[in-house]
Each structure stands twice: as structure tokens, then as C-alpha cells.
């Protein structure tokens, strides 16, 4: 397969190696910012094997920012309940996150990845700024002072050289770009082989719970939603089995009988044995090369954070590359990206590994001990009328591009993911991002004209930031004007009040940069943002 778009003349702003979901999302986020994007992808077609089945609410918010939000209901569904049982069917853990909507979307959305990739690629095909070269394998990268040249071999064996200001490796766990940077993926020493079966049922069955983990030492196994009309079953390889022997249709049907699935009531769409590992790269950025997604980190699937972490990379990288290309930021923002994302993703990796150690236990006595501990915790929670507590894979940022307190830590609420709730302005009542817009946002409890002087208002306007006063629920939306919104659900007033702030500054990837109380502190907050973008060392808040 040859190029899917006409290639523009000259160098691109960004060249992305790899066109899986993370590369696709990053391409859309950059193109929507007016940047030209070249994509080089080794596979002529989208990779056909089973992979991710879910993304979190933050991922859904970022997909919506890239123009995919209206399609999420077709390619995905709220993940709903997640129940862990032991071999005897006893409850070990129950999680229902479908109602928690910090980002404006369900905490988890189950989806069919091939459909998601189709929609991402289709939107990219409609944007002239994105040029995709499928069937081209990168074989060399050379860097100059202002750009990098990427050499790739096309389907006919001909070499082509592509030039861009920045090169982003979204090329998976065996990343060529990461090899060029010279940093390996660390290996945490936790790895297992699992047979994955993607199935479509024909008997109208319903699933309660929607997602089931059976912690059976004889055969750990999983049944989860893979989006509307699709089901994912997974079976761990046990001692005495080979990968080749397990990766057959006969093995699939034999094991699927454990879930009452057979050729009469279902179709097996695809199957594959994958070996998950856990680790991350120490260096995510060098010169004009940057990493995102599986090129930078890999993890077991049990916390549902693999794809979501890649989407988080894309969101955090897009605004930084745009600021660099615009001349508003120095390369220090990429150092911040490396420190911030590397630290943040380690929590998700650690949690994924810890969950995996529980699930993948094949020693009967150790499994029995595990069951006793988890059942006791579940019983205590039930007696107290509370769900069993499970540490969240979502954590605030602790490193990177944030306002800091005197102790060097983020000055609360810096690093927190900002909420997305319903707001109103004029005739428009919808989620915050839709009403206010994307980019930097300064939320205020006062009239911005009073809180900010002319210099800082001009800087924010030049940055493309939205300066928005939060009006209390019950205010007539017709009175909001262009610089205010009615806080329909009271979420943003609470955010400001809990921070003891008159202003909260939110980054384009929805994380809070910092908060300020009063006119003088707000001026300092905006000034610190300006200095941080330029690469200056910003003093801590006393």
C-alpha cells in the first residue's frame, strides 16, 4: 500500500513514526493546532491482532478534543462493573466506576480497538495537514540544528527521506526511535503469556457483571467487554503448555467452553498469544527525538491504563510541541514532559504489576491465602456499606510543568486533573470544553478585568488562553457574556473554594498548572507560566 495522502512540499512540523492509536491521536491534536504532520508507518494495514479494550475518562476527554467524542457511543460503551472471583465463584473484589465522571465521561469505556483506529484514521484522512505513508519502514534518522531527516524504505524497496522539525516515536515496544535515542525499556521482571480471543455472540446474552476476572490458580481467565457487540476472553498459559500449542482455534474453543461459548452461539473473530511485560524508558527525549505510548512504557493490562497512558502522553506532548513550534517555549518543556510523564506512568505500571501478581497466582496454597485476605476485606467493606477500596490508577502529577510550593512539591491544586462538568453561556449548555474551548484556561471567581492587569491579559490572549469567570448556579446564562460561564453543577466554584483561590490556571491537557489568591498572586501565577514556557527557573511559591 502506498501513501494515503499527497505529500506536502518541504519539511513537516512534526514527523510521527507509528500510526497506532497514540500516533493517530497525536497527529490529530497537532493538525488541529495548525501544524503539518508526516506519519511513517511500517504496516500497510492497521495491525490486526487483539490489543487494548478500554480507555479511561481522561482518554475520552482527549479523544473528544481531537474530534472523536461524538463517535464514542458507537465504538465504545461504559465499562461498568468489574468483578473478581476465585475458583469457587466467591467475590474477591467489586469495582463499579461507571458513575464517577471527573473528566465528563465514564471512568472507563470499553471499546473495539479496530473501530477506534478506523475512526481516528478517517478523521486524519480528512485533514490536509496530515500526510500518511503506510508500508514505509524507518531505517535511519539523522539530526541537524533545526530539523531531523528520517529515512524509510517503501513497499517497492525505494528509500525516501522525510524532514521535520521534531520526530516522535509512537512505534511500539520495539521502537526504532527509542533505539536511536539510546535508551532501553527497563524490565521489572513480571511477564506472562495469555491467549486472547475476540468473540461475537449470536445468542443475545447479557453480561452481569460486564467484566469478570476469575482468579483460578488452575487457569486464570478473564471475560470483558470489548465494545458494543464484541467480547474479549483471555486465558493465561500454564505450566506444560507451549505458546504454539495454545495459539490455535482448537485451544480457543476448548477454553471458551469455560464461559459457555461454542461454535453454535458465537464467532471467533481473532486470537493471539501475547506476552505482557512491565517497564519504562528512562530517557523520553533527546535532541529532536521524543517518545510516546508503548515506545516509552509497557505494562500488564490489569489496570486498563496502557492505551490511556499513551493518550495522556499525546495530550501532554501536543501542546508542548505547538509552543515550541510557535516560539513561545524552549526545549525545557520537553525535559518537563520526560520528567512528568516518566514519573506519572510508573504509578500505573506498578499498580498493573501488583494486580497482575494477584491474578496470575497459580500456586494453590498461595491462592487460598490470597482469597482469605481479599474476602475478609470485601466483607468488612460490605458490613460498613462501602465498596471494597481499590487504589486508583489515576494520580495527580508530581513532576514537570507545575507551580511549586516552597518545599518543591506542587502547590495545591497544581498537578490535579481538572474536572469537566456542565456549564452554560447564552443558549449553549454543555460540557465545559465544548462551551469554553481548548487550550490554556484561567478560571476566576472575579471579573477578569479586575483581577488581571492589561499586560497579563495581553499575554494570555497571545497564548490563545481562555479567561473565564465562574458564575454561580442559577445565574441567567444570558448574562454570562463571552468571558463567563454559569457553573450549572457547582463544580468549578467548589474547585476554586477548596483551593482557597480566586484563579486556577489549567493547561491544555486539562491538568492544573497552579492557583492563586488575590490580584497580586494571580499576576505572579501568570508571570510564572510565562517564565516557565520560556525555560526560566521559576521561584517556588512561599
Q: What is the DSSP string of 445-471?
A: SS-HHHHS-HHHHHHHHHHTPEEEEEE
Average pLDDT, the chain: 93
pLDDT for res 387: 59
Query: Domain 422-534 classified CATH 3.40.30?
Result: yes
Which range of 21-30, 301-310, 378-387 scores highest in mean pLDDT? It is 21-30
Maximum pairwise Cα distance, the chain: 73
3-class secondary-structure state, position 129 = coil
Q: pLDDT tier at 3 (50, 70, 90 boundaries)?
A: very low
* Alpha carbons 284 and 354: distance in angstroms, whole number: 24
Using the predicted structure, report yes or no on whether residue 352 has a pLDDT greater than 70. Answer: yes
Residue 541's pLDDT is: 66
Cβ(512)–Cβ(406) under 8 Å?
no
Q: Model confidence over 413-467: pLDDT tens digits?
A: 999 999 999 999 999 999 999 999 999 999 999 999 999 999 999 999 999 999 9
Q: Where do the structural domains in the chain lie, given as residue ranges?
A: 12-76+107-183+282-355, 422-534
For residue 193, what is the enclosing H or E element? Answer: strand 192-201
Mean pLDDT for 363-390 is 83
CB 7 within 8 A of CB 161: no
Q: Which pLDDT belongs to residue 540?
A: 64
* Residues 191, 145: Cα–Cα separation, whole Å: 41
Closest of 428, 396, 431 to residue 507, by C-alpha: 396
What does the pLDDT look like over 51-96, one tens digit per residue? 899 999 999 999 999 999 988 888 999 999 999 999 999 999 888 7
Return all residues near 172 (Cβ < 8 A) that are at least 6 apart: 18, 20, 293, 294, 295
* Cα gap 221→331, rounded to integer Å: 46
- Please tell me which residue, 37 or 542, carries the higher pLDDT value: 37
- Per the rule left: phi > 0, alpha: psi between -120 and 50, beta: everything else, 63 is alpha
Report residue 512 as a C-alpha cell. 492544573
Do 295 and 21 contact (CB within 8 A), yes or no?
A: no
Q: Are 120 and 22 in contact (CB under 8 A)?
A: no
Q: Are 164 and 148 in contact (CB under 8 A)?
A: yes
Task: State the alpha helices, DSSP H only, in 35-103.
Answer: 57-65, 72-75
Q: What is residue 74's predicted lDDT score, i.e. its pLDDT?
A: 87
| Geometric angle at alpha carbon 491, from 490 and 493, rounded to 5° | 70
Contact yes or no for 154/2 (Cβ under 8 A): yes
Query: What pLDDT was estimated at residue 292?
Result: 98
* Measured distance CA(414)–CA(423) in Å, rounded: 22
**At residue 2, does pLDDT exceed 60?**
no
- Entry pTM: 0.95
- Cα angle vertex 469, ends 437, 33, to 5°? 20
Specify the CATH class of 12-76+107-183+282-355 in words. alpha beta
Q: Note the pLDDT tens digit of each residue in 129-158.
A: 999 999 999 999 999 999 999 999 999 999
pLDDT at 9: 47
Q: Could you tell me the pLDDT band of residue 481, with boundaries at 50, 70 and 90?
A: confident
Burial track 23-44 (b if 16+ CB lie within 10 A, e otherwise): bbbbbbbbbbbebbbbbbbbee
For the segment 377-412, what is each residue's pLDDT rounded down to a tens digit? 888 877 776 655 556 667 899 999 999 999 999 999
User: What's the CA angle centered on 132, arms 127 and 135, to 5 degrees?
Assistant: 160
Q: Which residues are within 8 A (CB) of 156 and not within 5 positions of it... i.e. 6 or more apart? A: none
Sheet of 428-431, strand order: 428-431, 422-425, 484-486, 466-471, 441-444, 503-506, 512-516
Q: How many CB atoms lie within 10 A of CB 478?
A: 11
pLDDT at residue number 7 = 37
Other C-beta atoms within 10 Å of 126: how many? 9
Q: Coil, strand, or helix at residue 525?
A: helix
Cell numbers found for residue 518:
488575590
Residue 98 confidence (pLDDT) above 80: no
How high is the pLDDT of residue 94? Answer: 84
Amino acid at each position: 500500500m502506498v501513501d494515503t495522502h499527497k505529500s506536502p512540499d518541504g519539511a513537516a512540523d512534526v514527523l510521527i513514526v507509528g500510526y497506532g492509536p497514540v500516533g493517530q491521536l497525536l497527529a490529530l491534536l497537532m493538525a488541529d493546532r495548525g501544524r503539518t504532520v508526516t506519519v511513517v508507518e511500517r504496516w500497510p494495514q492497521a495491525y490486526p491482532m487483539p490489543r487494548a479494550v478500554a480507555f479511561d475518562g481522561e482518554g475520552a476527554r482527549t479523544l473528544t478534543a481531537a474530534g472523536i467524542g461524538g463517535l464514542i457511543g458507537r465504538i465504545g460503551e461504559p465499562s461498568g462493573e468489574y468483578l473478581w472471583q476465585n475458583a469457587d465463584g466467591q467475590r474477591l473484589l467489586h469495582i463499579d466506576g461507571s458513575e464517577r465522571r471527573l473528566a465528563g465521561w465514564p471512568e472507563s469505556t470499553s471499546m473495539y480497538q479496530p473501530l477506534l483506529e478506523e475512526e481516528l484514521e478517517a478523521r486524519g484522512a480528512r485533514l490536509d495537514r496530515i500526510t500518511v505513508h503506510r508500508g514505509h519502514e524507518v531505517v535511519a534518522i539523522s539530526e541537524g540544528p533545526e530539523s531531523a531527516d528520517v529515512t524509510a524504505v517503501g513497499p517497492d524497496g525505494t528509500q525516501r527521506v522525510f524532514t521535520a522539525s521534531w520526530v516522535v516515536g509512537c512505534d511500539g515496544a520495539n521502537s526504532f526511535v527509542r533505539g536511536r535515542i539510546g535508551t532501553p525499556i527497563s524490565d521489572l521482571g513480571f511477564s506472562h503469556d495469555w491467549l486472547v480471543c475476540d468473540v461475537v455472540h449470536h445468542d443475545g446474552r447479557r453480561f452481569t457483571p460486564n467484566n469478570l476476572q476469575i482468579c483460578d490458580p488452575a487457569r486464570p481467565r478473564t471475560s470483558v467487554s470489548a465494545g458494543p457487540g464484541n467480547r474479549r476472553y483471555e486465558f493465561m498459559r500454564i505450566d506444560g503448555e507451549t505458546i504454539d500449542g495454545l495459539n490455535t482455534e482448537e485451544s480457543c474453543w476448548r477454553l471458551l467452553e469455560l464461559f459457555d461459548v461454542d461454535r453454535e452461539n458465537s464467532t471467533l473473530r481473532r486470537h493471539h498469544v501475547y506476552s505482557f511485560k512491565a517497564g519504562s524508558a528512562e530517557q523520553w527525549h533527546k535532541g529532536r527525538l521524543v517518545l510516546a505510548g508503548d515506545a516509552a512504557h509497557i505494562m500488564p493490562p490489569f489496570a486498563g491504563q496502557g492505551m490511556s497512558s499513551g493518550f495522556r502522553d499525546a495530550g501532554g506532548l501536543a501542546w508542548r510541541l505547538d509552543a515550541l513550534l510557535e516560539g513561545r517555549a524552549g526545549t525545557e518543556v520537553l525535559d518537563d514532559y520526560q520528567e512528568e510523564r516518566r514519573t506519572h506512568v510508573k504509578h500505573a505500571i506498578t499498580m498493573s504489576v501488583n494486580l497482575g501478581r494477584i491474578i496470575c497466582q497459580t500456586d494453590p496454597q498461595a491462592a487460598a491465602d490470597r482469597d482469605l485476605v481479599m474476602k475478609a476485606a470485601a466483607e468488612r467493606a460490605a458490613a460498613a456499606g462501602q465498596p471494597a477500596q481499590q487504589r486508583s490508577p489515576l494520580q495527580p502529577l508530581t513532576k514537570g510543568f507545575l507551580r511549586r510550593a516552597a518545599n518543591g512539591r506542587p502547590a495545591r491544586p497544581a498537578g490535579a486533573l481538572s474536572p469537566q462538568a456542565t456549564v452554560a453561556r447564552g443558549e449553549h449548555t454543555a460540557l465545559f470544553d465544548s462551551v469554553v474551548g481548548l487550550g490554556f484556561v484561567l478560571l476566576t471567581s472575579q471579573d477578569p478585568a479586575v483581577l488581571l492587569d492589561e499586560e497579563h491579559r495581553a499575554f494570555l490572549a497571545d497564548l490563545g488562553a481562555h479567561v473565564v469567570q465562574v458564575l454561580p448556579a442559577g445565574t441567567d446564562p444570558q448574562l454570562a457574556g463571552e468571558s463567563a460561564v454559569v457553573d450549572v453543577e457547582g463544580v468549578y466554584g467548589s474547585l476554586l473554594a477548596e483551593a482557597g483561590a480566586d484563579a486556577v490556571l489549567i493547561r491544555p491537557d486539562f491538568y492544573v498548572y497552579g492557583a492563586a489568591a488575590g490580584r497580586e498572586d494571580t499576576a505572579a501565577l501568570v508571570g510564572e507560566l510565562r517564565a516557565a514556557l520560556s525555560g526560566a527557573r521559576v521561584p517556588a511559591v512561599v
